[in-house]
Amino acid sequence: MNCWKIGVIGFGNIAQALIGGLLKVQAIKPEQVHVCAAHYDKVCVSAKKYGVYACQSAEEVINKSDVVILAVKPYQMEKVCAPIQNLLKDKIVITVASKWNFDKFDAALAPGTHHLSMIPNTPVAVAQGIVIMEEKNSLTEEEFSMWKELLGKIALVEVVDSDHMSIADTISGCTPAFTAMYLEALGDAGVKHGLTRPMAYRLVAQMLKGTGALYLEQEKHPGAMKDAVCSPGGTTIRGVEALEQNGFRAAAMSAINAAMSKK
Ligand X SMILES: NC(=O)c1ccc[n+]([C@@H]2O[C@H](COP(=O)([O-])OP(=O)(O)OC[C@H]3O[C@@H](n4cnc5c(N)ncnc54)[C@H](OP(=O)(O)O)[C@@H]3O)[C@@H](O)[C@H]2O)c1
* Distance of alpha carbon 155 from alpha carbon 239, whole angstroms: 32
In degrees, rounded to 5, the angle at the alpha carbon of residue 18 between the alpha carbons of residues 74 and 98 is 20
Report the nearest approach of ligand X to the CB of residue 196 (Å).
29
Beta-ladder partners of 69? 8, 94
Quick one: which segment of 21-29, 67-75, 214-222, 252-260 binds ligand X (CB under 6 A)?
67-75
Figure out which of the listed residues 30, 31, 42, 220 binds ligand X, where binding follows CB under 6 A: 42
Figure out which of the listed residues 6, 7, 10, 116 binds ligand X, where binding follows CB under 6 A: 10
Nearer Cβ to ligand X (109/200): 109
Site size with ligand X, rule: CB under 6 A: 28
Nearer Cβ to ligand X (58/200): 58
Q: Contact between 49 and ligand X (CB under 6 A)?
A: no
Report the nearest approach of ligand X to the CB of residue 79 (Å).
6
Question: Nearest CA to 140 among 167, 161, 112?
Answer: 112
Within residues 232-261, the interface with ligand X by CB under 6 A covers: none
Nearer Cβ to ligand X (15/151): 15
DSSP class of residue 155 equals E
Figure out which of the listed residues 33, 119, 165, 168 binds ligand X, where binding follows CB under 6 A: 119
Residues 6 or more apart from 157 whose CB is under 8 A from it? 130, 131, 133, 148, 151
* Distance of alpha carbon 81 from alpha carbon 78, whole angstroms: 5
Site string (127-166) toward ligand X, x via CB under 6 A: ----------------------------------------
Collect contacts of 193-202 with beta carbons under 8 A, ≥24 apart: none
Q: Which residue spans within the chain are E strands per DSSP? A: 6-9, 33-36, 53-54, 67-70, 92-95, 114-120, 129-134, 155-160
Nearer Cβ to ligand X (101/190): 101
Q: Contact between 225 and ligand X (CB under 6 A)?
A: no
User: Using an 8 Å Cβ cutoff, are 75 and 65 in contact?
Assistant: no
Residues near ligand X, by CB under 6 A: 9-15, 36-39, 42-43, 58, 71-74, 76, 80, 96-98, 119-122, 173
